[in-house]
Chains A and B, each alone.
Chain A
Amino acid sequence: MTDIAAAPSRSRNVGFPAVLAVLGAAGCALPFLVQSPLLLTLMTQATINAVLATGVGFLLRQNGTVSFGHAAFFGLAAYATALLIKFGLPAELAIVLAVVLPTLLALLLGVVIVRITGVAFSMLTLAVAQAFHELFLKWRELANGDDGMAIAFPAKVFGLDIAIFQQPASMFLVCWLALVGVILGLWLLARSRFGTLTLAIRENEERARYIGYRTVLPRAIIYAISAAVCALGGLLFALYNGFVSPGTLHWSLSGEALIMAIIGGPRLIWGPALGGVIFFFIKNAAGDFTDHWPAVIGITLILVTVLLPRGVGGLLVWLGRRAGGGRGE
């Protein structure tokens, strides 16, 4: 069973949570090993990116659809945090709503747009996201338009010093644990009956109906879950930066997230997160010696799609199987 096509679509290996726990713990040690604040900052940003990519990748994996607009949920979460606090809500409530509101929006939107397939779906997601981008760009009274707005966090949230979320060493831990939690949650979801159902719908929507399943709501729920993950990323971004601008809603961020997911391998729950980290470090390493870092990303993307159709994650799984002789998911 060296065929890497044989299992990545469904992670049924119970060893996965164990591997994840080890990786999670190892990640927690990083802030104590890495001394450079600059590197810690990069790691934190990379982890936030990884959360975003995980959301986009999950949609691709379960629904088989490409969203060009998931930055909208990322950005809306960041703006929701900023605006709800500005309007006087307690920061804790604002933080919870920052994830809940974009998720509900995605569910409502999803019930309508998941009926549309292929490129038309992707274009719709793009259009909706750009509409939000325009809204926050043009409506200066609401959120200062292009200038963006600072978020007036109180000194403490959930009883924790706000500095915990704004210093790289501690925030890296928060983001890392959030990422590990998201991946574990999505992994459990994917191996549940609902996970199997949504894969079935992705594969053959018509037959899914003929075995007695409605197909729109499950697809909309997956859409909402993937949006929730991106919203969580946006919330982490808002906490860390204390600032939000329309760039967080822009299609280019959606596109980057998609590239991350593809580089990492969206058939694996954790693939896009890996892609997010790779993307971020390529961007920064290349950005140090050339303004043309997008070209480096582009070349990476081409190499991956041509040589590694299952992404870097798929390669790792394959290497792991060869080394272990078993299933190294």
Chain B
Amino acid sequence: MTTSAYAIEGIDMTRRFGGFAALDGVSLAVPHGEIRGLIGPNGAGKSTLMDVLTGRAQTWSGRVLMDGRDISGLGAVERRRAGLARSFQRTNIFPDLTIDEQIRLAAATAERDNSDEVMAELGLADLAHRRAADVSYGDQRRLDLALALVGRPRVLLLDEPAAGLSMQESMVLAGILRDLAGRWGVTVLLVEHDMEVIFSICSRVTVLHLGKILADGTPDEIRRIPEVVTAYLGSSVE
């Protein structure tokens, strides 16, 4: 098996809807153990990029490699089983199952069942026997994340895990993510609109704009690029 410096790598990824390229020849590689931020304005193609990497997209071109191995031909199920997990921008859980049931179900496809650890880390242990539909929005967001974290994936793609959370909740979540990623050595690609979260835990940030990569660098470098500031950060960053 090929070994690669990169845990996950997308090469020349393009995805079109009609004539419109939501993703236009994007290449992106995240080294092992890195937490990479992916930012960009609404409609930039961030979720589309996640869809291509995880096998959700049906029609696309380019290649996706995991640990140097070409997984372009694999479907979503095989990619997950190979250790590539994702969370969703729109909460995507099993409302009628209890939290415990769905986390254990997700863990059952992995080599290691770390359900209890994940529930404890995300503060879901006390809610384990509640139906997912009956818990708060914040808990549902954490559950969505837990479904991706369980089984210790090697690569984690998170699509706005902090969306809809309060600032305080977001920072707590960021802390948990940094902690787990460090402890498990998992590679993370994090899409997030909350710049506090991005700048506090990402070692590098990629900026996507209109389906293309606009910039790539450390948080400090990103903050200083004028185009990025106008295209995305706007005046909200001082």
Contact = CB atoms under 8 A, between A and B. Distances in A.
A26 interface: no
7 contacts: A6-B134, A203-B95, A203-B96, A207-B147, A211-B109, A212-B77, A212-B80
B92 to A, nearest CB: 5
Interface in B85-134: 85-86, 88, 92-98, 101-102, 105-106, 108-110, 131, 134
A196 interface: yes
Closest 8 CB pairs of A and B: A212-B109, A211-B106, A212-B80, A203-B94, A207-B92, A209-B76, A200-B94, A212-B81
Interface in B181-219: none
B54 interface: yes
A9 interface: yes
Contact of B76 (A9, A193, A197, A210): A210
A203 B147 CA distance: 15
A199 interface: yes
Given A210-B80, A211-B106, A214-B77, 12 more contacts: A199-B97, A200-B94, A204-B94, A207-B88, A207-B92, A207-B93, A209-B76, A211-B150, A212-B106, A212-B109, A213-B105, A213-B109
Is the interface on chain B under 10, 10 to 19, 20 to 34, or 35 or more residues? 20 to 34
A204 B92 contact: yes
A196 B108 CA distance: 12
A207 B76 contact: no
A211 B92 contact: no
Contacts of B102: 200, 211
Nearest to A215: B77
B96 A9 contact: yes
Contacts of A212: 77, 80-81, 106, 109-110, 151
A161 interface: no
Interface of B: 54, 56, 75-77, 80-81, 85-86, 88, 92-98, 101-102, 105-106, 108-110, 131, 134, 147-148, 150-151
Nearest to A199: B97
Contacts, number: 67
Greatest chain B CB density within 10 A among A6, A212, A213 is at A212
Contacts of B95: 203-204
Contacts of B96: 9, 199, 203
B108 A210 contact: no
A206 interface: yes
A26 B75 CA distance: 52
Contacts of B105: 193, 196-197, 200, 211, 213
Contact of B94 (A207, A209, A214): A207
Interface of A: 6, 9-10, 193, 196-197, 199-200, 203-204, 206-214
B94 A210 contact: no
Contacts of A193: 105, 108
Greatest chain A CB density within 10 A among B85, B86, B106, B148 is at B106
Contacts of A207: 88, 92-94, 147
B158 to A, nearest CB: 13
A196 B110 contact: no
Contacts of B151: 212
A212 B82 CA distance: 9
B93 A204 contact: yes
A207 B145 CA distance: 12
B109 A196 contact: no
A213 B94 contact: no
Contacts of B101: 10, 196, 200
A206 B77 CA distance: 10
A200 B151 CA distance: 18
A210 B93 CA distance: 11
Given A196-B105, A197-B105, A204-B92, A211 B97 contact: no
B197 to A, nearest CB: 22
A198 to B, nearest CB: 11
Contacts of B150: 211
